[in-house]
Amino acid sequence: MSRNALLVGAAAPLAPALRERLAAEGYDLLAAPHAAAVPALLGRLPEGGHPVAAVILAPALPEGRLDAVAAEDMIAALDEALAEAGMAARALVADRPEAPTARIVIVADWAITGPACETIAAAVSGGLVGLARSWALEFAPLGVTVNAVIAGPEALLADDAVLPLAGPLAARPRPDHVAHAVACFLDPRAAAISGQVLSVCGGRTPGSIPL
Amino acid sequence: MSAPYTVLVTGVAHGIGRAIADRLVADGHAVLGLDIEPAPPPGLAGFECVDITDAAAARRTLERLAGAHRITRLVNNVGSSRREWMHEATGETQRWLDRLNLGSALLCLQAVLPGMREAGGGRVVNITSRAVYGRETRSAYAATKAALASLTRSWARELAPDNIAVNAVGPGMIDTELFRRNNPPDKPDVIRLREGVPMRRLGLPEEVAQAVAFFLEERTGYVTGQMIFVCGGLSLGALPPAGNNPPAPEQGRARSGRGD
């Protein structure tokens, strides 16, 4: 059986931590720069090389005041992230129901929780989690699990800063924390965990509305 | 009833949008409607026929409306859906719904924002869906509605200093033409959901309009970033037919598992 794991979004800020953790878990890594590249990449794999697991990283997107966001830019970002992720999921699972990729994890941005001035990132990450939950339902009869991890905001910061008003944090979220949550969802023993959304944020969601 | 206001409602020709327009007209408000079909409900203060997936055309229409009316309320209702299994997906449905369900909301909000700020505040209601929590055969639709829920939170935070509240209403299985077209009554996923509605019936468009009217009301000004589901309890999770009933005594004991 293949031990290939596919990392989609190989240039995303969290990709190095994911690569390191997946390698430590014993996976052989395949990397796609973005979801649009996945169907062709899978088509080139040798017999038996179809990935058993896939991790889709949300792209880094620009911030900007609502007034200044061009609708065309938001739509282009949505098309690229959501429509192409759908085609990737089709190639990973739906087109090969006899031997699908058994684990999919989407890593979404903290923008899904609704910080101001992040219209495009909020829409894209919200959409990706909507896909994860829907795929979890649709792919369940195939034994495929689909989950989402929300990366806490500091996990994407280059320095050691903690965002203001963070409240008491159990730990400042780091990329390797996010990678750990992903690895838990990918574990073969996590077969009954699907459609879940896990925030890796140091414990800042208590006191907030659930997603 | 709150003081009369001018409200822009998108997608007013049919279904939920029409019911929202009817309700707000009945409440005495000036309702402006948009739709791709030239079929406005009666009593509107204005109506424009436009394909809102054409961003440039929509922008021109919206600027004209916002210039002619002092719009302080916006209901981003327009939207559609398409039943599609993942093995049938080509990306075309997602791209269509990105424009219709999401691009439209941003275009409309940007058009009315200056007027709301000038008026000292405003209200925005985004029509999402119970499908924000996931729906098989509808992943593209669910993604756009989950994205709109996320935008509701972001816009609520960003516009709160301007006294503009942004909320969402998430309909469940509502008896509309679109619902009937997309939900063949004999399909297993439709049966599972229909039979899992705790209230044991489809919702009415007028019941969605009630939640919208609540968010638009003057007295609801301190509520922002929230989402009300109008779903007969379906967002609690679909249950088997017996799921609404109290457990039989022996079942209750078995469930407790601790002999208490």
Whether residue B1 is contained in a domain is answered as no
- Separation between Cα atoms, residue A77 and residue A79, nearest integer Å: 5
Q: Looking at residue A141, what is its pLDDT?
A: 97
- Look at B138 and A127 and tell me if their CB atoms are within 8 Å: no
pLDDT, one tens digit per residue, over A42-82 is: 999 999 999 999 999 999 999 999 999 999 999 999 999 99
Q: Which residue of chain B is at minimal alpha-carbon distance from A209?
A: B226
Q: Report residue B259's pLDDT band, with 50, 70 and 90 as the boundaries.
A: very low
Residue among A74, A138, A195 minimizing CB distance to B106: A74
Give the orientation angle of helix A175-186 with respect to helix A15-24, to 10 degrees. 50
Q: Is B111 on the interface with A (CB under 8 A)?
A: no
- Look at A126 and B151 and tell me if their CB atoms are within 8 Å: yes
Residue B182, min C-alpha distance to chain A (Å): 16
- Separation between Cα atoms, residue B59 and residue B56, nearest integer Å: 5
Nearest to B151 by CA among B107, B111, B96: B107
Provide the 3-class DSSP secondary structure of residue A114: coil
Q: Looking at residue A165, what is its pLDDT?
A: 77
The arrangement of secondary structure in A4-200, i.e. its CATH architecture, is 3-Layer(aba) Sandwich (3.40)
pLDDT > 60? residue B251: no
Domain ranges of chain A: 4-200
Q: Looking at residue B245, what is its pLDDT?
A: 60
CATH number at residue B246: 3.40.50.720
Q: Looking at residue B252, what is its pLDDT?
A: 45
pLDDT > 70? residue B47: yes
- Look at B147 and A89 and tell me if their CB atoms are within 8 Å: no
Q: What is the largest CA-CA distance in chain A?
A: 52
Residues of B tagged active-site: 141
Chain A, chain B: beta-carbon pairs less than 8 Å apart: 161
pLDDT > 60? residue B193: yes
| Total count of domains within chain B | 1
Q: Which residue of chain B is at minimal alpha-carbon distance from A124?
A: B147
**Which residues sit opposite A149 in a β-bridge?**
A107, A198
- Look at A127 and B135 and tell me if their CB atoms are within 8 Å: no
> Across residues A165-177, what is the average pLDDT?
91
Provide the 3-class DSSP secondary structure of residue A108: strand
The domain of B32 spans 6-256
pLDDT > 50? residue B75: yes
Chain B residues lying within 8 Å of A78, measured CB to CB: 94, 98, 102, 144, 147
Whether residue B18 is contained in a domain is answered as yes
Per the prediction, chain B carries an average pLDDT of 92
Q: Is B100 on the interface with A (CB under 8 A)?
A: no
ipTM: 0.97
- Look at A78 and B132 and tell me if their CB atoms are within 8 Å: no
What six digits make up the tokens of A115? 């910080």
Whether residue B176 is contained in a domain is answered as yes
Q: Report residue B239's pLDDT band, with 50, 70 and 90 as the boundaries.
A: low
pLDDT > 80? residue B96: yes
